[in-house]
């Protein structure tokens, strides 16, 4: 099954506020853009992915992601939040291809590996709706809906429990850490760096000594 991924990205100026204390002078907006670019680049390299649609109102991010080969669409009017943006992205995909298999993917997976994403999507293809929990076991990094099935996203907060309660099947695979490793905090970023991040995130937070994320104070 070939999947179209819907990736939500809020305006960069408002992104990754929980990283502020951890990264010091390193601009959060630059990190958020690097995360998104590395995520989408890896997703487009996955054999199971037919295309990526990014839902964003940020012009810089939209232009750079489009240059990678993603399609960008604006957020729905009215500031209705993440789930509305995801539903809008899925509707946009299926307005052009009614039989598309659609999956959401977080934009903050800078360690994403195409092969691991492919394993998750192949597993998702076995069910009408399926999801992958994040590394913390509380949230969700991927939600998939087979052709003809509504996506019905229930992200933010304890979304793992909500997606399970909605009838989506949880994907229980080992060895797909890169698809689970979203980045919201300094500890998350250190964990992603340990896995090995994409080139843009590495250039900001990995290879420049002055930009490395400091360890937590004990």
201 is in an annotated binding site: no
**Residue 32 Cα distances to 61, 104, 168, 190, 218, angstroms:** 9, 18, 29, 15, 27
Residue 165 to residues 6, 66, 86, 101, 158, Cα–Cα distance (Å): 22, 35, 19, 21, 11
Interatomic CA distance for residues 61 and 41, integer angstroms = 13
Name the β-bridge partners of 49: 3
Rounded distance between C-alpha atoms, residue 136 and residue 183, angstroms: 11
Q: What is the DSSP string of 142-210?
A: EEEE-TT-------SSSHHHHHHHTTPEEP--SS-HHHH---SSHHHHHHHHHH---HHHHHHHTS-GG
Residue 138 has what DSSP assignment? Answer: S
Contact 105, 39 (CB under 8 A): yes
The helix (H) or strand (E) run that includes residue 86 is: helix 82-96
- 17 annotated as a binding-site residue: no
Count CB-CB contacts under 10 A for residue 165. Answer: 9
Binding-site residue ranges: 140, 159
Binding-site residue ranges for phosphoenolpyruvate: 140, 159
């Amino acid at each position: 099954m070939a999947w179209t991924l819907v990736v939500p990205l809020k305006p960069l100026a408002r992104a990754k506020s929980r990283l502020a204390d951890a990264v010091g002078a390193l601009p959060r907006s630059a990190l958020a853009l690097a995360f998104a670019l590395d995520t989408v680049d890896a997703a487009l390299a996955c054999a199971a992915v037919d295309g990526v649609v990014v839902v964003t109102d940020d012009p810089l991010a939209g232009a750079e992601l489009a240059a990678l080969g993603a399609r960008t669409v604006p957020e729905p009017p009215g500031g209705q939040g993440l789930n509305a943006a995801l539903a809008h992205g899925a509707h946009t995909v299926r307005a052009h291809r009614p039989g598309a298999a659609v999956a959401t993917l977080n934009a903050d997976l800078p360690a994403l590996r195409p092969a691991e994403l492919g394993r998750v999507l192949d597993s998702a293809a076995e069910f009408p709706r399926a999801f992958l929990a994040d590394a913390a076991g509380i949230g969700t990094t991927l939600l998939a809906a087979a052709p003809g099935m509504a996506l019905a996203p229930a992200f933010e907060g304890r979304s793992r429990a909500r997606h399970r309660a909605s009838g989506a099947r949880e994907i229980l695979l080992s060895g797909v850490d890169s698809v689970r490793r979203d980045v919201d905090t300094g500890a998350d970023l250190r964990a992603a760096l340990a896995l090995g991040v994409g080139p843009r995130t590495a250039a900001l937070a990995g290879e420049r000594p002055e930009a490395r994320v400091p360890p937590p104070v004990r």
